[in-house]
Chain A
C-alpha cells in the first residue's frame, strides 16, 4: 500500500469511512478511533508535558500515525493547553500542576452547578447574556470583569450610556488577561493547524470536524451539574423542557461546524443518560427527543453524527434505533456487541468496541480473537468501524497494533 500517493491514500480512507458510515460496502472495515492520552504515552511523554510543550505533542501524534496508520486521525485537537488555561483561570477544570499532583493524570472537569435552578428563566430568555454576564465569571477567574457589563441586548438606542464599567478596574484586568490569553491561545492553534496540514500531506483525514454534546448534557455538564439536572427532572420539569429547547439549537450550532468537511463527522459525547442515571421514561421524555431532533437537523446538513454511547446501552437500544438508517454512527463502549448488532446491524454503523482493559492487560491474541468475533458476527454485512471501547489512554503497543493490523487483514470484504 506504500506505492499510493498521500492524496490517493487520503481519498481512499475518506471513501472507506464514508461507505462504512452509510452501511455500504467499503474495501475493508475501517479502523481508527478516539484516543486521549495514548499517543503521548506511546511517545513517552507525560500528559503534563503534552499540555505544555506543543511541538512535543505534535511529534507524539506523528509517531502514533506513522506506527499504527489509522484510517483517520482522531483530532481535532491536542491536549488542552495548560498555559492558556492558567491565564484564563479555568476554575471548573483540574489538570496536572493545577489541582492534580500526578504529572500523568487526565484533566477532569469539576462537576458542579454553575447556574442555579432559579436562573433557568434568565438562560432561556437570553442564553448569550447569561453565559457572558454570569456563567463566564463563575468559570474563569480572568473573566470577572464581564459581571460588571450590562447584557448586550440593552445596547440599543442609548444603551451605550450604561457601559462605563468598561473603564473600571475589574474589566481592565479582564482585558489585560484576555490579551495575554489570546496570544497564547493562537500559539497553540498554530501548532494544531500545522499538524493538520502535515497529517493531510501524509494522507490522513481529520476524523472529527466538530464536537458536540446532547442538549441534556449542554444543560447538565455546563450549567446545572449532574445532581442539579437529574433532580430538575422531578423538581423543575417545565423549566428544564424550555431550556432543552434552547439547548437543542445550541447543539445544532456546535455540530454544524462539520458541514462541508472532507470527513463531515461530528463527535457527540453522551454523559448523563446512562442506565443508572435515569429511567427509560425520563430518557424518553427529557433526553432522546431533543437529541434526536438535533441529530436530524445535522443529518439534513449532510453531517454524520457519531454518538459516543459510553458505558452499557443495551437496555435502551430499542429507543435509539429510531433514527434514519445509514446516516449516523453509534460508538459502543460496554454494550454487548452481538446484542447491539442484532438490533442495529446494517441500519446504523457501529463503531467499537475492543475492551480497553484487554488492550492494556491482554495479549495480541486476545485482541485478535475479539476482533475476529465481532467481524465474524457481522457475516460480511457492512456498517462496522473497528475501534477501542472507550477513549484510549493506556495500552500495550503490541495489543493496539494487533487491533489495527488484524482488522486491515481480516476485515477485507469479499
Chain B
C-alpha cells in the first residue's frame, strides 16, 4: 500500500490518499512507513514543480495533505525517529513592513522537501529579529522575501544590521520576490537572488555542496 500512497499524494488524489492512510493505520502499519511515503511523495511533487508540471495550487494541496497526514500519524509514532537528516539550515522571513507570505511559504516548503531545516520567521520581520534569530539558530543561509518596492531598502537595512552584528560572514543571504533581480541583490548586499522557488533551492544546494 505504501507505493499506492506515494502515487495518490503525488498525483493530488486527496481522498484516496487519506483513505489509504486510514487503512494502513487500521492494518497496524508502522506510522514511520506512512510518513516516509508522504515525504517520498513530496519529493516527487517538488520535482514536478521544478519541471513546471506543477504550480502553486499543487504545492498548497501537497502541503495540506502532508499536514493532515502528520496530524493523524505523528501521535502514534514512538518517540524516537523524526531526526531527519538535513543538509543545511535556513532562516527565512518576509522583511519588516511587508506582510506578503505566498512566495516565502513556497520557498520554505520546497526547501523543507529538499532536506533543509527551515526556520520560518513569518511576515513583517524586523531586522533586529533576523539578527537575534541568526544568533540563536546559527543558520547556514538567510532568505529574505519582499513583494513591495519598499522591500529594497528594508532588505538593505536588514543586511546592514546583520553586518553590524558581526554575523555577515557566517551566513549566505538570498533574496526573492516578484520585483527583485540581480541589481537588487547587489544594492541590498545579498549574495544572490532567486527568480523563483526552484531557483532558491538550487542556490541553497549549491552553497551547501
Query: What is A's interface to B at a CB cutoff of 8 Å?
Result: 37, 94, 100-102, 104-106, 108, 110-111, 226-227, 230-231, 233-235, 274-279, 282, 310-312, 333-334, 355-358, 360-362, 389-394
Contacts and interface: CB of A to CB of B under 8 A. Distances in A.
A394 B153 contact: yes
B51 to A, nearest CB: 11
Given A111-B102, A355-B181, A394 B152 contact: yes
Given A278-B57, A282-B57, 19 more contacts: A100-B99, A102-B96, A102-B97, A105-B150, A108-B99, A226-B102, A231-B61, A276-B106, A276-B197, A277-B55, A278-B55, A282-B55, A311-B178, A311-B179, A357-B179, A357-B184, A390-B149, A391-B149, A394-B149
24 contacts: A100-B124, A105-B97, A106-B148, A110-B99, A111-B100, A230-B57, A231-B61, A234-B57, A235-B14, A277-B56, A278-B55, A279-B53, A279-B54, A279-B55, A311-B179, A334-B181, A357-B152, A357-B181, A357-B183, A358-B183, A390-B149, A392-B149, A393-B150, A394-B152
B183 A334 contact: no
A93 to B, nearest CB: 10
Contacts of B57: 230-231, 233-234, 277-278, 282
Contacts of B102: 111, 226-227
Interface in B100-149: 100-102, 106, 124, 148-149
Nearest to A391: B149
A104 B106 CA distance: 28
A334 B60 contact: no
B207 interface: no
B50 to A, nearest CB: 11
A78 to B, nearest CB: 18
Contacts of B179: 311, 333-334, 356-357, 389-390
A355 B149 contact: no
Interface in B71-116: 96-102, 106
Contacts of A105: 97, 150
Interface of B is mostly: loop
B16 interface: no
Given A111-B102, A231-B60, A361-B152, A355 B183 contact: yes
Residue from B57, B99, B152, B197 whose CB has the most chain A CB atoms within 10 Å: B57
Contacts of B195: 312
Majority secondary structure, A binding face: loop
B56 A94 contact: no
A397 B178 CA distance: 24
A94 B99 contact: yes
Interface string B1-18: 000000000001010000
Interface in B20-53: 52-53
B182 to A, nearest CB: 9
A235 B183 CA distance: 40
Interface residues of B, number: 35
A276 B97 contact: no
Instruction: Tell me which of B56, B187, B196 has the highest count of chain A C-beta atoms within 10 A of its own C-beta.
Output: B56
A312 B179 CA distance: 9
Contact of A334 (B12, B150, B178): B178
B55 A106 contact: no
Which of B61, B97, B124, B149 has the most chain A CB atoms closer than 10 A to its own CB?
B149
Interface in B168-201: 178-179, 181, 183-184, 187, 195-197
A295 to B, nearest CB: 23
Given A100-B97, A360-B152, A393-B149, A227 B187 contact: no
Given A334-B181, A356-B179, A358-B183, A276 B56 contact: yes
B96 A356 contact: no
Nearest to B102: A226
Contacts of B14: 235
Contacts of A278: 55-57
B154 to A, nearest CB: 9
Given A231-B61, A276-B197, A310 B148 contact: no
Contacts of B184: 357, 361
B187 to A, nearest CB: 4
Contacts of A104: 97, 150
Given A355-B183, A361-B183, A361-B187, A227 B60 contact: yes
A227 B56 CA distance: 9
A37 B150 contact: yes
B34 to A, nearest CB: 23
Contact of B100 (A108, A360, A361): A108
A276 B55 contact: yes
Most B-side CB within 10 Å, residue of A102, A227, A234, A277: A227
A152 B64 CA distance: 38
Nearest to B148: A106
A393 B148 contact: yes
A101 B124 CA distance: 10
A234 B150 contact: no
Contacts of A358: 183
Contacts of B60: 227, 230-231
Contacts of A108: 98-100, 148
Nearest to B96: A102
Contacts of B54: 279
A392 B179 CA distance: 12
